[in-house]
Amino acid sequence: MGSTIIEKIVRNNVGRDVKPGEIVTVNVDRVMIHDIFIPFVASKFEEMGFTKIWDPDKAVLIYDHLVPASQVDDTRHFRIGNEFVEKYGMKNIHRSDGICHQLMTEAGYVKPGDVVFGTDSHTTTYGCVGAFSSGIGYTEMASILGTGTLWIRVPETIKVEITGNLPANVMAKDIILKLIGDLGADGATYKALEFTGDTVEKMSVASRMSMSNMAIEAGAKCALFTPDEKTAEYCEIELTDKERDLVGDADAEYCRVLHYQAEDFVPVMACPSNVDNVKPVAELAGKEIDQVFIGSCTNGRLEDLMAAAEVLKGKHVAPYVKLIVTPASRKIYRQAVENGTMAILAEAGAIITHPSCGLCCGRTGGILTDGETVVATNNRNFLGRMGTSKVGIYLASPKSAAACAAAGKIVVP
Partner 1 sequence: MEKFSGKIWVLGDDIDTDIIIPTEYLALKTVKDMAPYAFSPLRPELAAQIQEGDIIVAGKNFGCGSSREQAPEIIKTLGIKCVIAKSFARIFFRNSINNGLLLIENDKLRDVVNEGDEITVTINESIEHNGSQYPITSLPQNLVDIINAGGLVKAMRKLNGLD
> Which residues of the shown chain bind partner 1 in the complex (CB under 8 A)?
23, 36-37, 40, 44, 47-50, 65-66, 71, 73-74, 76-77, 118-121, 123, 135-140, 142-143, 146-147, 151, 185-186, 189-190, 219, 221, 274, 361-363, 380, 382-385, 389
CB 152, min distance to partner 1, A = 10
- 190 or 320, CB closer to partner 1? 190
CB 273, min distance to partner 1, A = 9
- 320 or 382, CB closer to partner 1? 382
Q: DSSP class of residue 368?
A: B
Q: Which of 385, 396, 332 is nearest to 361 (CA)?
A: 385
| Residue 392 and residue 272 in contact, taking contact as beta carbons nearer than 8 Å | yes
Q: Which of 250, 247, 204, 256 is nearest to 225 (CA)?
A: 247
CB 257, min distance to partner 1, A = 22
Q: DSSP class of residue 252?
A: -
Q: List Cβ neighbours of 385 (8 Å cut-off, separation of 6 or more).
A: 273, 360, 361, 362, 391, 393
CB 63, min distance to partner 1, A = 12
DSSP H helical ranges for 216-362: 229-235, 241-244, 281-284, 296-299, 302-312, 330-338, 341-347
- How far apart are the two ends of the chain, measured CA to CA in Å? 45
Tell me the C-alpha to C-alpha distance, in Å, between residue 99 and each of 7, 28, 360: 29, 22, 11
- 113 or 272, CB closer to partner 1? 272
CB 362, min distance to partner 1, A = 5
- 178 or 221, CB closer to partner 1? 221
CB 347, min distance to partner 1, A = 33
CB 331, min distance to partner 1, A = 25
CB 184, min distance to partner 1, A = 8
DSSP H helical ranges for 5-108: 5-14, 38-47, 74-88, 100-106
∠ CA 127-132-135, nearest 5°, is 90
Q: Which of 377, 383, 365, 206 is nearest to 296 (CA)?
A: 377
Q: In the beta sheet, which residues pair with residue 116? A: 30, 133
- 217 or 303, CB closer to partner 1? 217
Give the DSSP per-residue string, 173-221.
HHHHHHHHHHH-TTTTTT-EEEEESHHHHHS-HHHHHHHHHHGGGGT-S
Sign for the pseudo-dihedral over CA of 279, 280, 281, 286 = negative
The one-letter amino acid code at 292 reads V
- 10 or 247, CB closer to partner 1? 10
- 207 or 326, CB closer to partner 1? 326
CB 126, min distance to partner 1, A = 15
- 29 or 74, CB closer to partner 1? 74
- 140 or 310, CB closer to partner 1? 140
